[in-house]
Amino acid sequence: MFTKFQATDEEKQLRVIGAALKQFSEKNYSTASTNEIAKEAGISKGLLFHYFMNKKTLYLFMYDYAIRVISEEVVRKVNFNEKDLFVRMSQVAELKLTTFQTNPYLLKFIERVFFEEDVEVKLEIEDRKKQIATSEYYKLFSEIDTSKFKEGIDAARAVNVILWTLEGLGESVKAQHKLDGKDLDMNEIMEEFNRYMELLRINFCK
């Protein structure tokens, strides 16, 4: 679908990606301007739509791009030889935080996607979230050393509790953001994440 864009030179690709990340991180989907993206990238709007059929296609491409950047960093830097579930989870969380901090537009874009309610893209984004979560979770929770769990603890159920806890934390962050509209404090979120991980470790592990 994006062969025309991928066939252009890398420098132009990076300009378009950078401009789109900036625009989509600063505005929600409905108010984001493809005119501004084209202007920032130094190309015509016609050429932008030559690469991408419309704003929705570009938006979904950028979401896939952002997730791919994060996932590739996970593959490169997470030690999957580490069999301790909680250590592995902390590695992944810290890696994502580092990636976000080195690319603030990426962080802001993911934040906006998380809260995006526009019906034109919401269903597609939700479907993508489920697919990505399934594949990442499968790898993250494979070959875990279950001997560290307390006797009588069902490892599969313990993992489910961890997932539900993290999902609940995510929903809590989302709800608080809707109330106060403040930017997400990633350091604060990581501290809260680690508190939950320690609590679960104490309850589940020897």
Q: Digits of tens for pLDDT over the chain (206 positions)?
A: 788 898 999 999 999 999 999 999 999 999 999 999 999 999 999 999 999 999 999 999 999 999 888 888 888 888 888 888 888 888 877 777 777 777 878 878 988 898 899 999 999 999 988 887 777 667 777 788 888 888 888 888 887 887 788 777 777 777 777 777 777 777 788 888 889 889 998 999 88
Does residue 34 sit within a domain?
A: no
CATH number, domain of 169, equals 1.10.357
User: What is d(CA 120, CA 126) in angstroms, rounded to the nearest whole number?
Assistant: 12
Contact 61, 37 (CB under 8 A): no
Does residue 162 sit within a domain?
A: yes
State the pTM of this model: 0.76
Residue 70 sits in which domain range? 59-204
Does residue 103 sit within a domain?
A: yes
Does residue 19 sit within a domain?
A: no
pLDDT score at 163: 74
Does residue 84 sit within a domain?
A: yes
Q: How many CB atoms lie within 10 A of CB 44?
A: 11
- Number of separate domains in the chain: 1
Pick from 179, 48, 63, 41: which is nearest to 113 by CA?
63
Does residue 177 sit within a domain?
A: yes
Does residue 124 sit within a domain?
A: yes
User: What is d(CA 152, CA 88) in angstroms, rounded to the nearest whole number?
Assistant: 23
Does residue 126 sit within a domain?
A: yes
Query: How big is the chain, counted in residues?
Result: 206
Contact 83, 145 (CB under 8 A): yes
